[in-house]
Amino acid sequence: MNAYLERINYRDSTTANLNTLRAIHRAHLLTVPFENLDIALGRKIALDQDALTRKLVERRRGGFCYELNGAFTALLRSLRFHVSFAFGTGRTKRRGRTGVRPLMPASRFGRTMACGRWLRGSVSGTTEAADEG
């Protein structure tokens, strides 16, 4: 995952803690764009780790929510973060959208932290996730 850290220009601590999570998430948000060109062009979407690494790291492209969050989750797990997924839903004026965001489990930092991207990259930082019950 060193290539991924280079891709997002991250050179600080990789210790699995909340400050590192926020810093890596911010670096990811600022360097890997949200884009859905492959969907618009009708290309096959591959969500396996090798395909995501090739696209986002080696080819230096962006991706849509499932691609960005899949790659970001793999990066966090390689750094010994405990990551789980939760489905999030957002609305647009035209129609509702559903995306998946990686969430940090409550046991790790005492609370659940949302740290993914969805709806055109709308998550602007690492935020505490609300429990909907």
Tokens 């935020």 sit on residue: 127
| Number of residues assigned to the chain | 133
Please report, rounded to a whole number, the percentage of residues in the chain having pLDDT higher than 70.
65
Running DSSP on this structure, what letter comes out for residue 12? S
Fold of 2-123: Arylamine N-acetyltransferase fold (3.30.2140)
- pLDDT average, residue stretch 91-103: 55
- The domain segmentation of the chain, as residue ranges, is 2-123
Label the pairing between strands 84-91 and 127-128: unpaired
The torsion region of residue 95 among left (phi > 0), alpha (psi -120 to 50) and beta comes to: beta
**Structure confidence by residue, pLDDT tens digits, 117-126:** 654 445 556 6
Asked whether the whole model's pTM tops 0.75, one would answer yes
Running DSSP on this structure, what letter comes out for residue 51? H
Distance CA 103, CA 112 (A): 7
